[in-house]
Amino acid sequence: MIEVKNLTKQYGAKRAVDDLSFTVNDGEILGFLGPNGAGKSTMMNMLTGYISSTDGQALINGIDILENPTEAKKNIGYLPEIPPLYLDMTVGDYLSFIYDLKKCRLPKKAHIEDVCKLVMITDVYDRIIKHLSKGYKQRVGLAQALIGNPPILILDEPTVGLDPKQILEIRNLIKKLGKRHTVILSSHILSEIQAVCDRIVIINKGKIAADDTPENLTAKLSDEHKLIARIDGSRDEVLKVISSIGGVVSVTADMEREPGTFDYEIEAEEGRDIRRELFKRIAARNWTILMLKTTELTLEDIFLKITMGSDITIGGSKKKAAAVSEDDAKAMHEAVDQAVIAAQAVEMSKKLAAGTEAEEEYDGGEM
Amino acid sequence: MGAIFKREMKAYFTSPIAYIFIAVFYVYTGINFVGTNIYGATTDLTYIFSAVFTLMMIMLPLLTMRLMSEEKKQKTDQCLLTAPVNLAEIVMGKFFAALCVFLIGMAIYIPYVLVLFKLSGSIEWPIVIGNMCALLLLGASFISIGMFVSSLTENQIVSAIASFIFIMLLYMIDVLASSITVEWIRNAMVSIGFYNRYYEFTNGIINIPSVVFFISAIFIFNFLTVRVLEKRRWGE
């Protein structure tokens, strides 16, 4: 169990982490989500005792990390952003060093073998770390955190730099670990957090912007009544017709998708279903609805809304994103691009996993 | 501490650095030994012990340059500092590993002494013992200085050059002191100089204040290294 109370880190004039408080219960997988520079790594470095906090307190299983660091650190396995590997050692030597360093009391050889099997690095056991691929290095880093079976695992972007197949493997591994360990992991990839975590803490500019389960976060923010319709026909006329439907609050036309066809985003009054009415009106004009769907807020949207300087407060009933500045808008587009890439990676990995299910084990021949 | 000591020893002997250090040490002392004691037909060991001071000034920074700086550069300090060990253990582990490599180099004096004893039948044991103590103390204090400097930078070369300059200054202080006329400054300089204290030992004089001086130097610089690690944790 981890209790964080009013934790603050000040770097000169900059507050990297600003008055954070939260609790992680035993057996929970908590995801830290935030844009780059939000204070995720600083937070984790404070929890693991690598850096001190300026103010506040972090209790690891009830032990203060600053007052009794040695005892508190015994409970933690930490994978920093850059895995702390001694490049000139072999994987086996390195893990054996970590074992000695952590003063473990488990049967040494068997334990190291177990950990290697768990993160699938048995085949590189005798290789020098320097010569391993990024994916393997990341997994050796993970193995290092797992040595000694610490009850708490803190993983800083555990899947960064891995290929889609490896991402899936590590993700499954973390899920499996979550059954026996308390896990905190950070990421800026939302699909990952959504897939793995029981609870999400979104931090932005050093502060907690949201703290809830993925389902609740989506549910709380998705009470908007938007439709997206793809309709062929002259844009201006279609716009006129749609806005004349009773209950339509606003309608905007998107870019031309197919020749002579536009996408329209239609917002209706709360609790009002305008789909039938829309169909009738469009059909009456002899136009065709090529696509009609309701917009569901994805975690991506929520994340962007929360982190892009909007005035949303989670748990309130009516939310409206504030206007974003030009810079924010640009950043938002970039973030969306990233999210799309991430989503594609997930898709791809699913396909890959399905395709290679028959193969017994990952051979690692691409090193 | 044991784990860090073991890892450092392994790192010394998987890279060429320990071999180079030991080889240079053996060759340099060997030439001095043959030239002075065998051809000169003397059992006076003062020269071969005092000549090694300069060599240690150059070679020990090479031994200590990567101790702390590389950890910082490769971010492996994150693994040490988040493991359930205290900072003193980390520093001591590294200190003793470097000292151990140095002792392997220093061990070459044992055969020299035995050869002389065999050839001449008599040897001035106080001088031998005094010199062995002196080498050990001097080496250990250079190592703790080098490690302290190494903890201040991420760059091994900077670390090596800076510790060399640092040690050089400590050596020069004795020389500079003689040209200072203000007595209290001169006395102060003489009291922190390394060379005169070392030279005393090579004549077989084991002076307790000097022993205490070297041990304090070792302690202070190791302590400072711990403080540097501690300070980095607290950031600004």
ipTM score: 0.88
* Nearest residue of chain A to residue B236 (CA atoms): A11
**Structure confidence by residue, pLDDT tens digits, B87-133:** 999 999 999 999 999 999 999 999 998 988 888 888 888 888 888 88
Is the same domain home to A198 and A244?
A: no
Lowest mean pLDDT among A283-287, A353-357, B200-204: A353-357
Q: Over 90: is that where the pLDDT of A131 sits?
A: yes
Q: How many other CB atoms sit within 10 Å of the CB of residue B189? A: 17
Is the same domain home to A66 and A155?
A: yes
Choice between B186 and B204, residue whose per-residue pLDDT is larger: B186
Question: Chain A residues within 8 A (CB-CB) of chain B?
Answer: 9, 11-12, 45, 48-52, 69-71, 73-74, 76, 78, 80, 82, 84-89, 93, 97-98, 100-103, 144
Which two tokens mark B149? Answer: 């400097």
Indicate the helix (H) or strand (E) that contains A55: strand A55-60
Mutate to test the interface with A, among B4, B82, B94, B231 (most CBs of A within 10 A): B82
CATH number at residue A236: 3.30.70.3190
Name the pLDDT band for A358 (thresholds 50, 70, 90): very low
pLDDT at A343: 62
Q: Do A52 and B4 touch (CB under 8 A)?
A: no
- For A238, A259, A293, the CA distances from A232, given in Å and listed in that order, are 9, 8, 16
Mutate to test the interface with A, among B14, B79, B156, B232 (most CBs of A within 10 A): B79
Query: With contacts defined as CB-CB under 8 Å, which chain B residues touch A93?
Result: 10
- Rounded average pLDDT over A79-101: 93
- Rounded average pLDDT over A30-46: 86
Q: Over 50: is that where the pLDDT of A126 sits?
A: yes
> At a CB cut-off of 8 Å and minimum separation 6, what does A113 contact?
A122
What is the side-by-side strand order in the sheet with A55-60? A14-24, A2-11, A55-60, A63-64
Query: With contacts defined as CB-CB under 8 Å, which chain A residues touch B86?
Result: 69-70
Choice between A333 and A128, residue whose per-residue pLDDT is larger: A128
- For A1, B76, B156, the CA distances from B73, given in Å and listed in that order, are 32, 8, 9
The pair phi, psi for residue A21, each rounded to 5°, is -140, 130
pLDDT at B235: 67
> At a CB cut-off of 8 Å and minimum separation 6, what does A150 contact?
A74, A75, A76, A77, A181
Query: With contacts defined as CB-CB under 8 Å, which chain A residues touch B79?
Result: 78, 80, 84, 98, 101, 144
pLDDT > 70 in chain B, percent:
99
Residue with the two structure tokens 């403080």: B227
Q: Do B3 and A51 touch (CB under 8 A)?
A: no
Is the same domain home to A45 and A178?
A: yes
Name the pLDDT band for B53 (thresholds 50, 70, 90): confident
Q: Do B6 and A82 touch (CB under 8 A)?
A: no
The last residue of a domain, from among A220, A239, A271: A220
Choice between A243 and A93, residue whose per-residue pLDDT is larger: A93
Indicate the helix (H) or strand (E) that contains A152: strand A152-156
Q: How many CB pairs under 8 A join A and B?
A: 81
Is the same domain home to A167 and A291?
A: no
Q: How many domains does chain B have?
A: 1
| Residue of B14, B78, B236 with shortest CB distance to A84 | B78
Query: With contacts defined as CB-CB under 8 Å, which chain A residues touch B87?
Result: none
* Nearest residue of chain A to residue B10 (CA atoms): A89
Taking the C-alpha atoms of residue A125 and residue B3, their distance in angstroms, rounded to an integer, is 19
Choice between B144 and A194, residue whose per-residue pLDDT is larger: B144
Q: Do A97 and B6 touch (CB under 8 A)?
A: yes
> At a CB cut-off of 8 Å and minimum separation 6, what does B91 contact?
B147, B222, B225, B226, B229
Lowest mean pLDDT among A14-18, A194-198, A324-328: A324-328
Name the pLDDT band for A171 (thresholds 50, 70, 90): confident
Q: Do A97 and B235 touch (CB under 8 A)?
A: no
**Structure confidence by residue, pLDDT tens digits, A276-324:** 888 888 888 888 888 887 766 666 666 777 766 544 444 333 333 333 4
Is the same domain home to A210 and A262?
A: no
- Residues A203, A43 contacting (CB under 8 angstroms): yes
- Residues A75, A63 contacting (CB under 8 angstroms): yes
pTM of the full structure:
0.78
Taking the C-alpha atoms of residue A359 and residue B118, their distance in angstroms, rounded to an integer, is 72
The last residue of a domain, from among A261, A281, A296: A296
Listed residue (A72, A94, A73, A105) closest to A144, CA to CA: A94
What is the side-by-side strand order in the sheet with A248-258? A248-258, A261-268, A226-232, A289-294
Q: Do B84 and A102 touch (CB under 8 A)?
A: yes
Choice between B214 and A356, residue whose per-residue pLDDT is larger: B214
Query: With contacts defined as CB-CB under 8 Å, which chain B residues touch A85?
Result: 74, 76
- For A146, A314, A321, A324, A336, the CA distances from A329, given in Å and listed in that order, are 41, 22, 12, 6, 10
Q: Over 60: is that where the pLDDT of A327 sits?
A: no
pLDDT at A338: 60
Look up the domain containing B101 and give its range. 2-234
| Residue of A51, A84, A87 with shortest CB distance to B79 | A84
Pairing of strands A199-204, A29-33: parallel
Q: How many domains does chain A have?
A: 2
Listed residue (A267, A270, A285) closest to A229, CA to CA: A267
Distance of CA A253 to the CA centre of its chain: 32
The last residue of a domain, from among A220, A239, A254: A220
Per-residue DSSP letter, A128: B
* Residue A110 covered by a domain: no
Lowest mean pLDDT among A5-9, A96-100, B18-22: A5-9
| Residue of A52, A101, A144 with shortest CB distance to B85 | A101
Mutate to test the interface with A, among B78, B94, B154 (most CBs of A within 10 A): B78
Query: With contacts defined as CB-CB under 8 Å, which chain B residues touch A80?
Result: 75, 78-79, 82
* Nearest residue of chain B to residue A44 (CA atoms): B82
Q: Over 80: is that where the pLDDT of A257 sits?
A: no
* Residue A122 covered by a domain: no
Which two tokens mark A248? Answer: 């339509």
Is the same domain home to A271 and A290?
A: yes
Q: Which of A37-41, B9-13, B198-202 has the highest mean pLDDT?
A: B9-13
Taking the C-alpha atoms of residue B29 and residue B49, their distance in angstroms, rounded to an integer, is 8
Taking the C-alpha atoms of residue B159 and residue B143, their distance in angstroms, rounded to an integer, is 12
Listed residue (B232, B236, B227, B235) closest to B87, CA to CA: B227
Q: Do B6 and A100 touch (CB under 8 A)?
A: yes
Distance from CA of B92 to the nearest CA of A (A): 14
Look up the domain containing A158 and give its range. 2-75+151-220
Q: Over 60: is that where the pLDDT of A355 sits?
A: no
| Residue of B82, B234, B235 with shortest CB distance to A48 | B82
Mutate to test the interface with B, among A101, A108, A146 (most CBs of B within 10 A): A101
Q: Which of A11-20, A105-114, A278-287, A333-342 has the highest mean pLDDT?
A: A105-114
Q: Do B75 and A82 touch (CB under 8 A)?
A: yes
Question: Chain B residues within 8 A (CB-CB) of chain A?
Answer: 2-4, 6-7, 10-11, 14-15, 74-86, 233-236
Please, what is the average pLDDT of chain B?
89
| Residue of B77, B78, B83 with shortest CB distance to A102 | B83
CATH number at residue A177: 3.40.50.300
pLDDT at A224: 56
Pairing of strands A76-79, A152-156: parallel
Choice between A87 and A210, residue whose per-residue pLDDT is larger: A87
* Residue A23 covered by a domain: yes
> At a CB cut-off of 8 Å and minimum separation 6, what does B206 contact?
B126, B129, B130, B133
Q: Over 70: is that where the pLDDT of B37 sits?
A: yes
- Helices (H), ranges, A311-358: 326-355
| Residue of A11, A87, A97 with shortest CB distance to B236 | A11
